């Protein structure tokens, strides 16, 4: 299969990107500055992320759409205001996660942001579950650019007017020059930030304007260290069809109002909320500087295997190795001592609080 | 620098008497990216040519470090353990990994000189 490229490919190349294949796209893993400095720049200033590989699914409104979408997603859409976003899941009948996503109610329907590797499958599942009653469009003509960091607001307001009044997990239509764009205040780094949906032909000039105002391009490598420090899940690593949102410690994203309703996996979700789960996603910090990466086995003090790491890296802002993984719930309480098997040696570690790095979302304006 | 040799696993080796100083090349650090952790062999341990003799971890992945020659580890560089970023800063000089007393100095003969290595590195990164 041919590798796809985003509208920013030339800009990536001219900024010294190391390009890798990711979910069928040629994407920058890092630029010439490297992952550590890109990570730190995002935390202290603001970084630009090309996330155009992600799916932008637009569902045109028609009578009963909200009700029908509630049969698919465990989220309260009836009370969702126009231009408000919620984090949710597409699940199978066992409560396993096909994808995690952001759903935004817009004037003409709903906009759902999907993971790149899942988007085609999600499209099929959602279309089928909606019985072909609605018009679905997986946008090919729009790029998606994320601007993340404490400086994001000040940079973006120089390029897009009135952006500073946008609230966290809310969106709106704005203008970049004469071009209509859709902007949400959201992101996946633990920092304040925005995600901008913009026509492909304007993506490069828009990104150049952000660069001229003091931001830098940041690759997928730093995106991974940033999201892991913020305790956020990477689909395919930390959540998949074998884990439920409750096991993934994402119960907060299941709307309380929807607990008695029917949606795929609803019975299992309800049961798990009421009687608990066997395994739970936790944060893990090794005592030494050694890194426990995905698939590292986790043991208890009696040397019994109790789980496995699903993501692990060095956290540049916490200046320590950090991991997330699933353990037997009996061993999931804070400060439980565990052992990680790394290159044949058992390394001591502790179950710790998520996120590793305090989130800096701007919730009140 | 003519006394420095290079291996296909991207280590450099400098011989002083029968003691070899070993580190990883600048090209290797460029491929690895930012190094955040290093594990070195124990002082006094014996290592065999082409065997593993440590680990470097970047933000992206863990990679084994190989020794291009056999011998006994006589010294390791604690500075790079304490501050792994030094490996990216000065890989072919102060950020050496370990020193070993060579068993057979003729093992140096099969390694590449600088020109040969530069050519090899250029080809292997294409």
Residues A274 and A337 in one domain: yes
Q: How far is CA A39 from the centre of its chain?
A: 16
Judging contacts by C-beta atoms under 8 Å, the chain A residues touching residue B57 are: 290-291, 314
Residues A49 and A152 in one domain: yes
Cβ A289–B34 below 8 Å, yes or no? no
What is the tens place of the pLDDT at every residue in B14-71?
999 999 999 999 999 999 999 999 999 999 999 999 999 999 999 888 999 999 999 9
pLDDT > 50? residue B113: yes
Chain B segment 68-87 residues within 8 A of A by beta carbon are: 85
State which of A88, A106, A138 marks the end of a domain: A138
Residues A271 and A312 in one domain: yes
What is the reported pLDDT for B25?
97
Closest CA to B98 of B41, B52, B46: B41
Domain CATH number, residue A196: 3.30.1360.120
Q: Which domain holds residue A345?
A: 251-352
Nearest residue of chain A to residue B32 (CA atoms): A34
What is the reported pLDDT for A358?
87
pLDDT > 50? residue B116: yes
Q: Which of A30, A37, A293 sits opposite B62 (nearest CB)?
A: A293
Q: Is residue A362 part of a domain?
A: no
- Report chain A's terminal Cα–Cα distance, integer Å: 46
Domain total in chain A: 3
- Pull the structure tokens for residue B120: 């090899």
- Alpha-carbon distance of B65 to B54, in angstroms, equals 5
Q: What is the pTM of this model?
A: 0.93
Is the CB of B122 inside 8 Å of chain A's CB atoms? Answer: no
- Pull the structure tokens for residue A180: 């209509």
Residues A131 and A64 in one domain: yes
Check: CB of residue A104 under 8 Å from CB of residue A184: yes
Check: CB of residue A103 under 8 Å from CB of residue A85: yes
> Which one has a higher pLDDT value, A2 or A152?
A152
What is the tens place of the pLDDT at every residue in A115-137?
999 999 999 999 999 998 999 99
- Report chain B's terminal Cα–Cα distance, integer Å: 26
What contacts B58, CB < 8 A, 6 or more positions away?
A35, B32, B33, B34, B35, B36
What is the reported pLDDT for A362?
81
Residues A194 and A292 in one domain: no
Closest CA to A73 of A22, A112, A45, A124: A112
Nearest residue of chain A to residue B35 (CA atoms): A36
pLDDT > 80? residue B1: no
C-alpha pair distances (Å), A294 with each of A228, A287, A298, A310, A349: 12, 17, 11, 4, 15
Continuous segment of H or E residues that includes residue B64: strand B62-66
- Alpha-carbon distance of B85 to B90, in angstroms, equals 9
Continuous segment of H or E residues that includes residue A68: helix A65-70
CA distance B32 to chain A (A): 10
B18 phi and psi angles, rounded to 5 deg: -105, 15
Judging contacts by C-beta atoms under 8 Å, the chain B residues touching residue A34 are: 33-34, 88
Q: Which domain holds residue B118?
A: 4-124
């Amino acid at each position: 299969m041919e590798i796809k490229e985003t509208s920013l490919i030339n800009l990536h190349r001219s900024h010294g990107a190391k390009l890798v294949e990711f979910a069928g796209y040629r994407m920058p893993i890092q630029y010439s500055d490297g992952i550590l400095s890109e990570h730190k720049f995002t935390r202290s200033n603001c970084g630009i992320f090309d996330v155009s590989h992600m799916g932008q699914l637009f569902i045109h409104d028609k009578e009963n759409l909200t009700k029908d979408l509630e049969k698919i997603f465990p989220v309260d859409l009836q009370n969702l205001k126009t231009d408000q976003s919620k984090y949710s899941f597409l699940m199978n009948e066992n409560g396993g996660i096909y994808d995690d996503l952001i759903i935004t109610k817009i004037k003409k329907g709903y906009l759902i942001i999907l993971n790149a590797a899942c988007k085609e499958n999600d499209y099929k599942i959602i279309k089928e579950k909606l019985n072909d009653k609605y018009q679905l469009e997986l946008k090919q003509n729009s790029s998606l650019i994320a601007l993340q960091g404490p400086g994001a607001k000040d940079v973006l307001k120089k390029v897009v007017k009135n952006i500073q009044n946008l609230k966290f997990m809310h969106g709106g239509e704005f203008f970049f020059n004469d071009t209509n764009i859709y902007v949400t205040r959201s992101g996946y780094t633990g920092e304040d930030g925005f995600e901008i949906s913009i026509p492909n032909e304007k993506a490069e000039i828009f990104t150049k304007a952000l660069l001229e105002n003091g931001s830098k391009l940041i690759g997928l490598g730093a995106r991974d260290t940033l999201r892991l420090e913020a305790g956020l899940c990477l689909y395919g690593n930390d959540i998949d069809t074998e884990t439920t949102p409750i096991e993934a410690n994402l119960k907060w994203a299941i709307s309380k109002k929807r607990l008695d309703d029917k949606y795929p996996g609803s019975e299992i979700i309800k049961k798990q909320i009421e009687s608990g789960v066997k395994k739970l996603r936790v944060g893990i910090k090794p005592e030494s500087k050694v890194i426990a990466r995905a698939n590292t086995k986790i043991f208890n003090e009696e040397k019994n295997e109790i789980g496995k790491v699903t993501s692990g890296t060095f956290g540049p802002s916490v200046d320590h190795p950090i991991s997330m993984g699933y353990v037997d719930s009996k061993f999931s309480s804070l400060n439980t001592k565990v052992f990680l098997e790394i290159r044949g040696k058992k390394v001591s570690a502790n179950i710790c609080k998520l996120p590793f790095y305090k989130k800096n979302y701007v919730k009140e304006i | 620098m003519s006394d420095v040799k290079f291996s296909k696993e991207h280590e450099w080796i400098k011989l002083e008497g029968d003691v070899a100083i070993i580190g990883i090349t600048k090209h290797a650090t460029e491929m690895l990216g930012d190094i955040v952790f290093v594990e070195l062999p124990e002082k006094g341990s014996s290592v065999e040519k082409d065997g593993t003799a440590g680990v470097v971890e970047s933000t992206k992945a863990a990679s084994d470090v190989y020794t291009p020659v056999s011998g006994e580890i006589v010294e390791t560089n604690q500075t790079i353990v304490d501050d792994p970023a030094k490996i990216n800063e000065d890989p072919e000089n102060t950020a050496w990994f370990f020193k070993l007393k060579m068993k057979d100095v003729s093992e140096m003969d099969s390694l590449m000189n600088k020109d040969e290595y530069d050519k090899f590195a250029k080809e292997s990164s294409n």
